Amino acid sequence: MAEKKETNEKMEAIIALCKRRGFVYQGSEIYGGLAGTWDYGPLGVALKKNIENLWWKMFVDDREDMYGIDAAILMNPNAWIASGHVGGFSDPLVECTKCKKRFRADLLTDKTKCPECQGTLGEERQFNMMFKTNIGATEGEGSITYLRPETAGGMFVNYKNVVDSIHPKLPFGLGQIGKAFRNEIAPRDFIFRVRELEQMEVEYFVHPKTWEEHFELWRKEMWRFIEAVGIDKSHVHELEVGDGDRAHYSKRTIDFEYDFPFGRKELYGLAYRTDFDLKSHQEGSKVNLEYYDEETKEKFLPHVIEPSLGVGRTMLAVLSEAYTEDEMGGEKRVYLKFNSALAPTLVAVFPLLKNKPELVAKAREVYAMLKNKLGRVSFDDNGNIGKRYRRQDEIGTPYCVTIDFDTLGEEKPEYKDTVTLRNRDTGTQERVLISDLVAKLK
């Protein structure tokens, strides 16, 4: 019990920090919110972009066999009929006969009793999670389409376009980052389960005989990414998903589960989608999607390995890893231990006092130089220096640079053109020559 309280407290502290410091706000907050939606503030956008850029670099740009895609969210509804989503993208739903609250049956330990009011739960039924919408000025059967529930679909329908325009050799993959929408029965746990989410997905096309080899290679890549974003690998656990529990398109799935403060839950999925999607789209569209191998003269439908990573869940895991409380200078301190690849701000530059024009001018000069060389640099002259350190610690800035009177060399000429460089994690400060700063920070 005590442990549960502790972990809930951690979650609450993370949510409060996210709001206080401009990472994540409740969606439509001034109207009382909208369940399952969250808005990313200035710091959250920066963190999210750093996660996405790192994924794009590792999964697309650094590889010769990967190509980017940015497909439309709205697609011809026949694509979702062919892919099986209209018929089968559903979760089991139960409703309480007393309080009328709805729950996802597969997440309940007791499927007969309402976890909120102890009333009796009704019959289980399948609830399709796709958001329906109408396209064009007239509403009716013919105008219905869906907001995509996964980014994957846009890659399967563009597979032939890429083959015909880029002529990649098998094996090759498509990578996409984008929004997906799921009308989750019970959105919960902050940004963990939302109705409007963002995914970073790869559809990797292989010869059917080689799927196991490529499954293993992508499995390793996923672990490499987990490490690169600063998640302790001992907090992530692979789960082989059993026969009855896999998505309708998958012959093998490994879930990567993370020890979130509210329990061990899915972070990412790795699926072997066979030729299910290309075959279904070939039948649905009546367009031949076979790959022709010029060397072997073989014609076949490639099979697909899909590493699927949620942006929000990555961010939540990264925040859970980074959130740290300690004591510094006899006071309690909260800070985010982001690694340098992800920190929204890499260095913050301060003039010791904001009412001394000579200090401000020098600090502005150092700021401009660092900003130009390192990009993620901010300028802060608000409040006393202790408060500024505290603020930067809370948003996870690894380094702070302070320009003081010694920088100007007024009293101690030997310190001229040096600044103090403070380390977030240890709080230690050292004097560094301005001309050495970039090399030192890199």
Residue ranges in contact with ligand ATP by CB under 6 A: 182, 184, 193-194, 197, 199, 266-269, 308-310, 312-313
Specify the residue, 318 or 348, whose C-beta has the smaller distance to ligand ATP: 318
**How far is it, in rounded angstroms, from Cα 360 to Cα 236?**
46
CB 320 within 8 A of CB 312: no
Specify the residue, 269 or 302, whose C-beta has the smaller distance to ligand ATP: 269
| Shortest Cβ 193–ligand ATP spacing (Å) | 5
Distance of CA 261 to the CA centre of its chain: 17
**How far is it, in rounded angstroms, from Cα 388 to Cα 44?**
19
- The Cβ of residue 306 has, within 10 Å, a number of other Cβ atoms equal to 24
What are the angstrom distances between the C-alpha of 250 and each of 50, 90, 155, 200? 30, 15, 17, 18
Specify the residue, 129 or 408, whose C-beta has the smaller distance to ligand ATP: 129
Q: Is 127 helix (H, G, I), strand (E, B) or coil?
A: strand
| Shortest Cβ 202–ligand ATP spacing (Å) | 12
234, burial (CB in 10 Å: exposed 0-12, middle 13-18, buried 19+): exposed
CB 151 within 8 A of CB 269: no
Residue 61's contacts (CB-CB under 8 Å, 6 or more residues apart) are none
| Shortest Cβ 127–ligand ATP spacing (Å) | 13
Strands 66-68 and 172-181: parallel
Specify the residue, 184 or 259, whose C-beta has the smaller distance to ligand ATP: 184
Helices (H), 375-436: 385-394, 405-408
Specify the residue, 148 or 388, whose C-beta has the smaller distance to ligand ATP: 148
Tokens of 106: 């597969």
Specify the residue, 178 or 310, whose C-beta has the smaller distance to ligand ATP: 310
Specify the residue, 40 or 415, whose C-beta has the smaller distance to ligand ATP: 40
- Please tell me the number of Cα atoms within 13 Å of 223 on its side-chain side: 11
| Shortest Cβ 434–ligand ATP spacing (Å) | 43
| Shortest Cβ 184–ligand ATP spacing (Å) | 5
| Shortest Cβ 182–ligand ATP spacing (Å) | 5
Specify the residue, 263 or 375, whose C-beta has the smaller distance to ligand ATP: 263
**How far is it, in rounded angstroms, from Cα 427 to Cα 47?**
23
| Shortest Cβ 247–ligand ATP spacing (Å) | 6
| Shortest Cβ 413–ligand ATP spacing (Å) | 57
Nearest to 348 by CA among 310, 389, 287: 389
C-beta nearest to ligand ATP: residue: 310
